[in-house]
């Protein structure tokens, strides 16, 4: 059954000097038709923002932030189908020579996904698992069981190999490691970032944040997987896709700046029992 989700953010930065920035914060074009209210980015103090579509199909903005505090925000409502992620246990793995050429870049190593350093382990661990859906699920099971989640383990420069050796990380680290193993096993895999609230699951006792997951190409289409939660979830709102977190950083600054405020909202909107207007509740 379709649901409505209120989502948005408020991010504040202290810039030591005028600083150019690339912002990748807008809802992905594939979800724009689901917007009930506009996803309109507000920047305070007001600066001109040039919108463009990057090489991965994401909506980005270029701004020149003034010295001092900069706040970026949005607040919108989006319609969602309300179903968990698709599961297709029979989805087959394509041989490399039959893959669409646009998927081949997602087989290569990248900044945070060092296929060269993890290939031997991947083949020794997953080489005998049947190809296709079963293989990707086995990879998710391994990452989910062997990596400990904790926000205290966050490190913006941590790579998949470092996650593997340390055995701990945050959602982006789970995604990077699973993506790396998939690529080692010849399954195209791409990194995704967006909103994911506690909809249909017990709420977590932690502040809301953006979330990371990944997609793999099986059976002629892309499917969503999530090594951190390792279960189909409801209400993902995609912001951006890329090879890894480098391509989808929410803010890329070309100069020194410090994040001083961070708030993300992802709530299911449910009708109030005593009135017609909806209210948002934390799921």
The more confident residue out of 207 and 10 is 10
Residue 139 has pLDDT above 90, yes or no: yes
**Strands, sheet with 19-23, edge to edge from the N-terminal-most edge strand:** 50-53, 59-65, 19-23, 251-253
pLDDT at 283: 34
- Is the model's pLDDT at 277 over the cut of 80? no
**pLDDT value of residue 1:** 82
Note the CATH number of domain 3-82+249-272.
2.60.40.2250
Residue 275: pLDDT over 90: no
Q: Average pLDDT in the 154-175 region?
A: 96
Q: What is the pTM of this model?
A: 0.93
Q: Are 23 and 73 in contact (CB under 8 A)?
A: no
The predicted pLDDT at position 126 comes to: 98
pLDDT average, residue stretch 113-132: 98
Categorize the per-residue pLDDT at 272 as very low, low, confident or very high, splitting at 50, 70 and 90: low
Residue 112 has pLDDT above 70, yes or no: yes
For residue 279, what pLDDT band results from cuts at 50, 70 and 90?
Answer: very low
Q: Across the chain, what does the average pLDDT equal?
A: 94
Does residue 281 have a pLDDT over 90? no
CATH class given for the domain over 96-247: alpha beta
Q: Do domains 3-82+249-272 and 96-247 have the same CATH topology?
A: no
Kindly state the average pLDDT of the residues 21-41. Answer: 98
Mean pLDDT, residues 144-151 taken together? 95
Q: Is the pLDDT of residue 282 over 80?
A: no
Per-residue pLDDT band at 267 (split at 50, 70, 90): very high
pLDDT band at residue 11 under the 50/70/90 scheme: very high
Please write the tens of the pLDDT for every residue from 76-97: 999 999 999 999 999 999 999 9
Which residue ranges make up each domain of the chain? 3-82+249-272, 96-247
Q: How confident is the model at residue 191 (pLDDT cuts 50, 70, 90)?
A: very high
């Amino acid at each position: 059954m379709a649901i409505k989700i209120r989502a948005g953010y408020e991010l504040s930065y202290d810039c030591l000097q005028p600083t150019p920035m690339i912002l990748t914060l807008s809802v992905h074009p594939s979800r724009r038709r689901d917007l009930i209210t506009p996803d309109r980015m507000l920047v305070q103090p007001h600066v001109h923002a040039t919108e463009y579509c990057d090489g991965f199909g994401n909506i980005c903005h270029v701004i020149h932030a003034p010295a001092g505090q900069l706040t970026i925000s949005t607040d919108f409502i989006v319609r969602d189908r309300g179903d968990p992620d698709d599961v297709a246990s029979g989805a087959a793995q394509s041989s490399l020579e039959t893959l669409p050429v646009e998927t081949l870049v997602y087989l290569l190593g990248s900044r945070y996904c060092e296929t060269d350093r993890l290939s031997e382990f991947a083949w020794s661990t997953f080489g005998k698992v049947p190809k296709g859906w079963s293989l990707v699920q086995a990879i998710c099971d391994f990452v989910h069981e062997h990596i400990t989640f904790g926000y205290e383990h966050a490190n913006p420069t941590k790579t998949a190999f470092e996650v593997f050796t340390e055995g701990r990380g945050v959602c982006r680290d789970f995604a990077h490691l699973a993506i790396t193993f998939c690529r080692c096993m010849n399954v195209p895999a791409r990194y995704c970032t967006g909103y994911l609230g506690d909809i249909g699951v017990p709420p977590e006792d932690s502040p809301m944040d953006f979330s990371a997951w990944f997609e793999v190409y099986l059976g002629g289409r892309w499917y969503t997987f999530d090594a951190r939660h390792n279960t189909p979830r409801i209400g993902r709102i995609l912001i951006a896709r890329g090879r890894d977190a480098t391509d989808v950083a929410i803010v890329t600054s070309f100069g020194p700046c410090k994040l001083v405020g961070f708030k993300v909202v992802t709530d299911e909107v449910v009708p109030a029992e005593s009135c017609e207007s909806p209210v948002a509740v934390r799921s």
